[in-house]
């Protein structure tokens, strides 16, 4: 090869650090010959998929020779029934990650500024850099979004802002009053993407906003939701965005015509009907978050208050060796070095048994 193809690439892409996913259980099995691995690395639903969603996905497989419905008619109807959102304000995505990218592709020109918070989900910086934007990372406050500082960072060149509520990987959140004050202060020409991937888990008493109720008041707001977390369909890749009709039209123009596959469309529609599954999911998460918090307190460890399905804990030492020692015990969690949090680990809330396995393994590792 006589050409260095990196030198031909768009500079902001050539220098991009790729997303590092959680370690797959199969990889650990192959490396260490372990079985019975506890996988708490990617904030997946520990209860498995909803039985209704699984049945719908399975039924869809008998028509695999057909393209899916590119308009997503049935899923949009189900979303309208569940949330009262009309179809002209919806964009369906191959996971909500695709929607985060579509928002940037629709609005961000090379050199425009895209703002997000320190410790925010890495997909935002990847989306911004892929569009050759100038990424503006605003320092966090107590590991969460400093909305006041983010509003102050807006300049003439700012085109788009990413917010996550609750945030991953920290579990931090902001209130409806804080969000409204922020949205009131941001010019309407700046698109605000509010990523609500974990919103179902939020404590209803905590005063967090429901982004879907704000889209009418703020025409520059795009709210993204996913079926990957509380709805237990991470493997199928499906999410949705809600925004005003013009923004939704633009995002729909540039998505691939069949971006959401047939099994995902069927499963997501069914998942919205499975209220029992969602209740069990939320109950398991409440109990599990408490179990993990109490267990970490017993170990004398600090952790961030989380509104999500994960807990982010701080070790009093480098987290990477602890992460690796946990792997040897068959427990996969997420080290946060890629987020410049080298002493933190993020652990997904699992079943009671999985949480216990994690806490026992951590106690063993830390006592060595």
Ligand X SMILES: *Cc1c(COP(=O)(O)O)cnc(C)c1O
Give residues in contact with ligand X (CB under 6 A).
Answer: 43, 95-97, 121, 164, 168, 195, 197, 226, 228-229, 234, 239
Residue 366 C-beta: closest distance to ligand X, Å = 27
Write b or e for each residue in 295-311: b if 16 or more Cβ atoms lie within 10 A of its Cβ, otherwise e. Answer: bbeeeebebbbbbbbbb
Contact 147, 181 (CB under 8 A): yes
Complex with ligand X: residue 68 or 95, whichever CB lies closer: 95
Measured from the CB atom, is 203 or 216 closer to ligand X? 203
Question: Closest Cα to residue 29, out of 339, 336, 368, 332?
Answer: 332
Residue 42: CB minimum distance to ligand X, A: 8
Question: In whole angstroms, how close is the CB of 167 to ligand X at the nearest point?
Answer: 7
The distance of closest approach from Cβ of residue 173 to ligand X in the complex, given in angstroms and rounded to an integer, is 12
What is the strand order of the sheet 302-303 is part of? 302-303, 310-314, 344-348, 334-335
C-beta of 91 vs 96, nearer to ligand X: 96
Q: Three-state SS for 198? A: coil
Do residues 168 and 302 make contact, with C-beta atoms less than 8 angstroms apart?
Answer: no
Identify which of residues 100 and 262 has a Cβ nearer to ligand X in the complex.
100
DSSP state of 65: T
- Please give the backbone phi and psi of residue 246, each rounded to the nearest 5 degrees, phi first: -65, -45
Q: How far is the CB of 40 from ligand X (least distance, A)?
A: 14
Of 95 and 330, CB closest to ligand X: 95
Cβ closer to ligand X: 288 or 308?
Answer: 308
Residue 92 has φ and ψ, to the nearest 5°, of -90, 145
Longest dimension (CA), the chain: 61
Strand 134-138 and strand 113-117: the pairing is parallel
Task: Give me the least distance between CB of 190 and ligand X, in Å please.
Answer: 20
């Amino acid at each position: 090869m006589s050409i260095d193809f990196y030198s031909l690439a768009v500079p902001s892409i050539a220098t991009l650090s790729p997303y590092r996913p959680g370690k797959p259980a199969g990889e650990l099995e192959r490396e260490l010959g372990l079985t019975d691995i506890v996988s708490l690395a990617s904030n997946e639903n520990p209860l498995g998929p909803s039985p209704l969603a699984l049945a719908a996905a399975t039924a869809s497989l008998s028509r695999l020779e057909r393209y899916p419905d590119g308009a997503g008619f049935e899923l949009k109807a189900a979303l309208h029934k569940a949330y009262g959102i009309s179809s002209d304000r919806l964009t369906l995505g191959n996971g909500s990650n695709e929607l985060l990218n579509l928002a940037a592709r629709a609005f961000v020109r090379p050199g425009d500024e895209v703002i997000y918070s320190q410790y925010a989900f890495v997909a935002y910086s990847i989306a911004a850099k892929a569009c050759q934007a100038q990424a503006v990372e605003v320092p966090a406050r107590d590991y969460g979004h400093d909305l006041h500082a983010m509003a102050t960072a807006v300049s003439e060149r700012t085109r788009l802002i990413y917010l996550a509520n609750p945030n991953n990987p920290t579990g931090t959140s902001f209130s409806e009053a804080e969000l409204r004050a922020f949205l009131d202060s941001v010019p309407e020409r700046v698109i605000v993407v509010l990523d609500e991937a974990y919103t179902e888990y939020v404590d209803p008493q905590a005063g967090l906003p429901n982004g879907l109720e704000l889209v009418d008041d703020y025409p520059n707001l795009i709210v993204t939701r996913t079926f990957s977390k509380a709805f237990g369909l991470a493997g199928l890749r499906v999410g949705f965005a809600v925004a005003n009709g013009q923004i939704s039209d633009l995002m729909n123009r540039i998505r691939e015509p069949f971006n959401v596959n047939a099994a995902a469309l069927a499963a997501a529609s069914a998942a919205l009907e499975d209220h029992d599954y969602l209740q069990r999911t939320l109950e398991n998460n409440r109990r599990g978050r408490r179990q993990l918090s109490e267990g970490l307190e017993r170990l004398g460890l600090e952790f961030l208050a989380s509104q999500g399905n994960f807990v982010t804990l701080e070790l009093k030492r480098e987290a990477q060796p602890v992460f690796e020692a946990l792997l040897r015990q068959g427990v996969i969690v997420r080290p946060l070095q890629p987020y410049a949090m080298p002493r933190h680990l993020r652990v997904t809330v699992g079943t009671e048994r999985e949480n216990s396995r994690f806490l026992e393994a951590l106690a063993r590792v830390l006592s060595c």
